[in-house]
Amino acid sequence: MVYHFHSAPGPDDDGPDPKDAMREMLGPGAVDQQSRQAISTCWMMLPVKGRTPEAVAREIRRLVDRALTNLADDAGAFGFGAEGPPPPT
């Protein structure tokens, strides 16, 4: 799925707050849809002889684990995460 973002008025203008619009667009429904699309794509990409629900689950878990590891690595490298942004230098 591809998302396209347009410039939108800010909270002080006559339009909706762009953060609220983005939060709604990328909310739980979008996450659910993208997850299901990833599962479907994984199913189609597996060799026919190895195409089982267990094999799909194994590959999806592998991909998610790798993405979460990358997120943790990026948080450390770029200084973002639960502790907030790094102090100004």
Phi, psi (rounded to 5 degrees) for 33: -65, -45
Q: Is 15 or 75 the better-scoring residue by pLDDT?
A: 75
The model's pLDDT over 66-83, given as tens digits with 9 standing for 90+, comes to: 999 999 999 989 888 765
Phi, psi (rounded to 5 degrees) for 2: -115, 135
pLDDT of the residue at 80:
83
CB neighbourhood size of 67 (10 A): 10
Q: Tell me the whole-structure pTM to 2 decimals.
A: 0.62
Residues of the chain above pLDDT 90, percent = 48
Domain ranges for the chain, please list them.
18-77
Give me the torsion for CA of 44, 49, 53, 54, rounded to 10°.
-130
- Amino acid identity for residue 12 in this structure: D
Confidence class for position 41, pLDDT limits 50, 70, 90: very high
